[in-house]
A and B are shown apart, each in its own frame.
Chain A
Amino acid sequence: MKFSALSWTRLTFDFLKSHAKALRVTALLLLLALSGYILYLDITIREAFEGRKFALPARVYGRALEVYPGLKLTPAQLAGELQAVGYHENPEPNEAATYKYTLNGLELTTREFVFGDGPQASQHLRIEFADGAVSLLQERGAADTDLPLLRIEPPLIGGIYPGHNEDRALLRLDQVPKPLIDALISTEDRKFYSHWGIDPRGIARALYKTLTGQRIEGGSTITQQLVKNFFLTSERTLTRKGTEVLMALLLEMHYGKDEILETYLNEIFLGQDATRAIHGFGLASHFYFDRPLDRLELQEIATLVGMVKGPAVYDPRKSPDLVLQRRNIVLQEMVRLNVITQAQFVEARQKPLGVIHRAPTGTSPYPAFLQYVHRQLQRDYREEDLRSEGLRIFTTLDPRVQRQAEEALTLRLAEIEKARRLPANTLEGAVVVSSTQNGEIQALVGGREARYAGYNRAIDAQRPIGSLAKPIVFLTALEEPDRYTLITPLDDSALVLRQAGTSDWKPQNYDHEYHGQVQLRTALANSYNVSTARLGIELGVDNVLDKLPLYGIERRPPSFASSLLGAFELSPIEVAQLYQTFADSGFRTPLRAIREIVTAEGQPLQRYPLNVEPVAAAAPVYLLTAALQGVVSEGTAKSLGNWVPAEVKAAGKTGTTDDLRDSWFAGYTGDRVAVVWVGRDDNKPSGLTGASGAMTVWGELMKNIQPEPLQPAVPEDIELVNVDPVGGKFYDMDCKTGVIMPFIKGSAPAERAACPFFAATTGNEAAPAASAVAITVVQPPEGKPEVKHEPQKNWLQRLFN
């Protein structure tokens, strides 16, 4: 534009000479138009300059590993955690983020880090292990001192980036090492401190070459490069060049050299990490060398400066030789201009490139979790603030649990497809894992391709939940201890429900049989549809469904009896919220992915504190958990024992929907709640039941994260009674025939039965009372109970002995 502007001006001058008076008005108008245009450019460039200075993405961190004596951890696991946050093995681990193995453990030096609750200084540490746990935690020093606790820096798991996925780590000019500025000025713009935005000789040279048809080329000053960087296009035309020159001049009029240089250092494009653009030397230093800028050595600084010329071409990971050459040219320029000594030059020149090898991670290795975090943030923050204010967001993601969840899903789906000769990659799935006691989401897997930020099934797939809804019916029943206990007989005979306005509803059991009178716990363990439907109707469909909002399910399903059997849709994360309450003894804790948010300056901005609400009485939930443990020990999820040892006493429920479209498993251990969905994106039948699909993923996951056994606290109003579940009477506690079962006080059988003699003689004499003989009650078709003795403990005895 400048050139057309100049020619216009020239024209005006010619006119003025010959027709001075006649065209004075025209000239003024033209001048006005030109200054209007320049004014427009001025506003544009200043907006860009001011705006960019603050575009700092939000940084999202995973949970920080807390290490303390007694923690179950191996040296290899710790080393893995350290590597994941960028530590390197070093025989002298005294620099931040280094470690080494010792005889019994590790020695390391942590980085300084500003946590949500304040800064933590770098520490020299020694950690020793014994019997699979941390046995010693010491600060290394003149005299070693024991520490109670170490919090390792959390892994950066992603960012919420401005516009073009630009990432940067802002630096003030006084934080930038002088050699960097020297190198930059030596190579890119020697007259930076004296010119006024453009270098006329450079421009003249460029113009000459362009006009003589040699090539269109730069001759750009740092100011011009900055302008160019603001409007990232590689277009090279005279018009653009003209605009760039004008803008450079305007920038220099408004801002000082230092400000321009500072912005340049933070703005310049220095590489691409999958979808994330690396801007500025601060971030580039971490991206290529995994160290802050002020810890880079001369040759490393020269490498970064050399890349300014074109980071796509001079990519040290793709073309190390080219970058090495370029680096040495930068060093040469520096020594030529006497900003470094000959000795420094010779030393730096000999060093290797030293760029860290790291698989590019894109915007986040955990896109599904990050998306969930982003959505939670959007409720409380404006999108533009998230993308520009440099907020630091501390989340609950546990990389170890996440990795196991991803691997369990990928592995099992591939195995299932292979075993069932299904076409590869037709099955999909989702996993949500949260912590029982505080509702923190530790892992979220949105699909088989966990790195792919696509359809996030964990939060967006709405699927019928099938039998996962049954615990709501049973809990509603158990909340009326006068009417229902775990051994209350339920009617599992054919049911036809006639409702005005709808066709008859005839629920079927999965095995297409009716089971007559079944105990409440058995109906749940075997997931009988008919007895569950009868129970729900007896309680009142609305009475059952009205409970859902209490458990955190906001959308109420339609008031049809079929809703009792899960004919309504939920996402995996909603199911996790539902089961969270069962796992946490009736306390509802909203699932959380964010712990706290601090500003770029480290000031606490917002905490998401633990919030607990009592929504169900502890005693009925205790009974429900016992029944759900029965599902695993002797019901539809019995084969979970192939993955999770019986001692874990996991509680869970399988879910299967019509024509085997959806395979669900929701369950909990002492420390975690996990929900798995498996099915097909096109909603065609997957051929999987809850137990043959989702449950195996759940088992594989739990197997690898060492679950804590589930031992819910026994509520005050619960008593353990030795009963004959079939006869509905109680035995004395020392009678070995009975089954020890929890009851809400006052609801246990009131009638005492004499202990049958034969039981005492068939039991294993060496074993303690009541748990020696397991009794399984089998209901023959005619409904006449038959007692069978098995040489193993049954589910409740395993549970309570």
Chain B
Amino acid sequence: MINRSRLFFVAALLLSLAGCASAPTQPPAISTTPEAQPQAAETPLFGESPEIVPETKPAMSGNHAVIALLDRAQTDNAAGKRDAAGASLERALRIEPRNPWLWHELAQLRLAQGQYAQAITLARKSTSFAGRERRVQALNWKVIANARVAQGDSAGAEDAFKRAAELEQVEAIPGL
């Protein structure tokens, strides 16, 4: 027994030797799965956003889900969370893939994000679904015009502004 404990002592000595040879480390804390995380105080998913009133556009959709997602996108956009705004617009587009207003909003967002080529394409796509809705067509030309300005295409921009103005004028004439 004596012998045995002495042996353990030696073993322990060796162990501590090895222990000293390697620097002790501070293991990083375990990360948690998001599901297990306590719920942080969160913004209501479908909460109203009273501060952000879209400019006087006609009802962009008759679908409340789409309106809720548009509200959410606008709130996120106003808070500078452009990626999140894009995600909400894409959700809305999955519900109404042919709604020109949603494509227009996405074009606006890309413009704000500095993705000018995408902004122009998405504005065109919006217009392709616009039918006779001149309002959204005019707004799309404005997006195109602004994107062209940013791209340094002043002639193209001027042309696009002109198209926007024309469409707005036609719209202004009562009875048309």
Asked if B16 contacts A253 (CB within 8 A), the reply is: yes
Question: What is the size, in residues, of chain A's interface with B at 8 Å between Cβ atoms?
Answer: 78
**Bound complex: CA A255 to CA B30 (Å):** 14
**Bound complex: CA A2 to CA B12 (Å):** 12
Contact A253-B7, Cβ < 8 Å, known A112-B39, A149-B64, A438-B93: no
Asked if A69 contacts B84 (CB within 8 A), the reply is: no
A326 CB → nearest B CB, Å: 27
CB neighbours of A2 from chain B (8 A): 11
Contact A38-B36, Cβ < 8 Å, known A437-B93, A437-B98: no
**Bound complex: CA A116 to CA B90 (Å):** 13
Asked if A613 contacts B121 (CB within 8 A), the reply is: yes
User: Of the 9-residue stretches B40-48, B50-58, B141-149, B153-161, which lies at the interface with chain A?
Assistant: B40-48
Contact of B95 among A66, A117, A282, A607 (CB under 8 A): A66
**Bound complex: CA A66 to CA B96 (Å):** 12
Asked if B22 contacts A46 (CB within 8 A), the reply is: yes
Asked if A42 contacts B18 (CB within 8 A), the reply is: yes
A685 CB → nearest B CB, Å: 40
Whether, in the assembled complex, A610 has its beta carbon less than 8 Å from a beta carbon of chain B, the answer is: yes
Whether, in the assembled complex, B152 has its beta carbon less than 8 Å from a beta carbon of chain A, the answer is: no
**Bound complex: CA A758 to CA B101 (Å):** 48
Asked if B97 contacts A437 (CB within 8 A), the reply is: yes
A8 CB → nearest B CB, Å: 11
Asked if A148 contacts B65 (CB within 8 A), the reply is: yes
**Bound complex: CA A602 to CA B29 (Å):** 17
Asked if B65 contacts A69 (CB within 8 A), the reply is: yes
CB neighbours of B14 from chain A (8 A): 31, 34-35, 38
CB neighbours of B129 from chain A (8 A): 713
CB neighbours of A713 from chain B (8 A): 98, 128-129, 131
Asked if A253 contacts B19 (CB within 8 A), the reply is: yes
Whether, in the assembled complex, A243 has its beta carbon less than 8 Å from a beta carbon of chain B, the answer is: no
**Bound complex: CA A311 to CA B175 (Å):** 78
Whether, in the assembled complex, A601 has its beta carbon less than 8 Å from a beta carbon of chain B, the answer is: yes
Asked if B122 contacts A612 (CB within 8 A), the reply is: yes
CB neighbours of A35 from chain B (8 A): 14, 17-18, 21
Question: What is the size, in residues, of chain B's interface with A at 8 Å between Cβ atoms?
Answer: 57
Q: Chain A: interface secondary structure?
A: mixed
Asked if B27 contacts A53 (CB within 8 A), the reply is: yes
Q: Which of B16, B29, B35 has the most CB of A within 10 A?
A: B35
8 Å CB interface, A675-733 against B: 713, 715
Asked if B32 contacts A70 (CB within 8 A), the reply is: no
Asked if A607 contacts B83 (CB within 8 A), the reply is: yes
Asked if A56 contacts B31 (CB within 8 A), the reply is: yes
Whether, in the assembled complex, B24 has its beta carbon less than 8 Å from a beta carbon of chain A, the answer is: yes
B136 CB → nearest A CB, Å: 13
Asked if A53 contacts B39 (CB within 8 A), the reply is: no
Whether, in the assembled complex, A671 has its beta carbon less than 8 Å from a beta carbon of chain B, the answer is: yes
Whether, in the assembled complex, A433 has its beta carbon less than 8 Å from a beta carbon of chain B, the answer is: no
Asked if B97 contacts A254 (CB within 8 A), the reply is: no
8 Å CB interface, B43-92 against A: 43, 45-46, 63-65, 67-69, 83-84, 86-88, 90-91
Asked if A612 contacts B27 (CB within 8 A), the reply is: no
A214 CB → nearest B CB, Å: 21
Q: For A59, give the chain B residue with the smallest CB separation.
A: B33
Contact A68-B18, Cβ < 8 Å, known A119-B42, A170-B31, A607-B83: no
Number of A-B residue pairs at CB separation under 8 A:
176
Whether, in the assembled complex, B124 has its beta carbon less than 8 Å from a beta carbon of chain A, the answer is: yes
Whether, in the assembled complex, A392 has its beta carbon less than 8 Å from a beta carbon of chain B, the answer is: yes
Asked if A292 contacts B35 (CB within 8 A), the reply is: yes
Contact of B30 among A53, A68, A607 (CB under 8 A): A53
Q: Which of A6, A249, A612, A618 has the most CB of B within 10 A?
A: A612
CB neighbours of A756 from chain B (8 A): none
Whether, in the assembled complex, B125 has its beta carbon less than 8 Å from a beta carbon of chain A, the answer is: yes
Whether, in the assembled complex, A188 has its beta carbon less than 8 Å from a beta carbon of chain B, the answer is: no
Asked if B18 contacts A38 (CB within 8 A), the reply is: yes
CB neighbours of A43 from chain B (8 A): 22
A27 CB → nearest B CB, Å: 11
Whether, in the assembled complex, A336 has its beta carbon less than 8 Å from a beta carbon of chain B, the answer is: no
**Bound complex: CA A283 to CA B131 (Å):** 53
Asked if A170 contacts B33 (CB within 8 A), the reply is: yes
Contact of A587 among B64, B91, B97, B125 (CB under 8 A): B125
A3 CB → nearest B CB, Å: 11
Contact A596-B87, Cβ < 8 Å, known A69-B65, A587-B121: yes
Whether, in the assembled complex, A238 has its beta carbon less than 8 Å from a beta carbon of chain B, the answer is: no
Asked if B36 contacts A171 (CB within 8 A), the reply is: yes
**Bound complex: CA A637 to CA B124 (Å):** 33
Asked if B90 contacts A609 (CB within 8 A), the reply is: yes
Whether, in the assembled complex, A390 has its beta carbon less than 8 Å from a beta carbon of chain B, the answer is: yes
Q: Which of B63, B67, B88, B128 has the most CB of A within 10 A?
A: B128
Q: For B7, give the chain A residue with the smallest CB separation.
A: A6
A161 CB → nearest B CB, Å: 15
Q: For B18, give the chain A residue with the smallest CB separation.
A: A38
Whether, in the assembled complex, A381 has its beta carbon less than 8 Å from a beta carbon of chain B, the answer is: no
Asked if A266 contacts B30 (CB within 8 A), the reply is: yes
Whether, in the assembled complex, A175 has its beta carbon less than 8 Å from a beta carbon of chain B, the answer is: yes
Asked if B90 contacts A50 (CB within 8 A), the reply is: no
CB neighbours of A38 from chain B (8 A): 14-15, 17-18
Contact A10-B7, Cβ < 8 Å, known A121-B39, A392-B34: yes
CB neighbours of A41 from chain B (8 A): 18
Whether, in the assembled complex, A614 has its beta carbon less than 8 Å from a beta carbon of chain B, the answer is: yes
CB neighbours of B88 from chain A (8 A): 117
Q: For A249, give the chain B residue with the smallest CB separation.
A: B15
Asked if A114 contacts B35 (CB within 8 A), the reply is: yes
Asked if B42 contacts A68 (CB within 8 A), the reply is: no
Whether, in the assembled complex, A185 has its beta carbon less than 8 Å from a beta carbon of chain B, the answer is: no
8 Å CB interface, A607-649 against B: 607, 609-614, 618
Contact of B87 among A9, A54, A266, A607 (CB under 8 A): A607
Contact of B128 among A42, A46, A715 (CB under 8 A): A715
A14 CB → nearest B CB, Å: 11
Asked if A117 contacts B125 (CB within 8 A), the reply is: no
Contact of A6 among B11, B39, B128 (CB under 8 A): B11
B85 CB → nearest A CB, Å: 9
Asked if B19 contacts A148 (CB within 8 A), the reply is: no
Contact of A149 among B32, B46, B124, B131 (CB under 8 A): B46
A96 CB → nearest B CB, Å: 11
Asked if A50 contacts B22 (CB within 8 A), the reply is: no
Asked if A148 contacts B64 (CB within 8 A), the reply is: yes
Can you report 19 A-B residue pairs in the complex whose CB atoms are below 8 A from each other?
Answer: A2-B11, A9-B7, A42-B18, A66-B65, A66-B95, A112-B39, A118-B84, A121-B39, A259-B27, A282-B33, A435-B94, A587-B121, A587-B125, A600-B32, A601-B32, A602-B37, A610-B90, A612-B118, A612-B121
Q: Could you tell me which B residues sit within 8 Å of A by CB distance? A: 7, 10-11, 14-19, 21-22, 24-25, 27-37, 39-40, 42-43, 45-46, 63-65, 67-69, 83-84, 86-88, 90-91, 93-95, 97-98, 106, 118, 121-122, 124-125, 128-129, 131
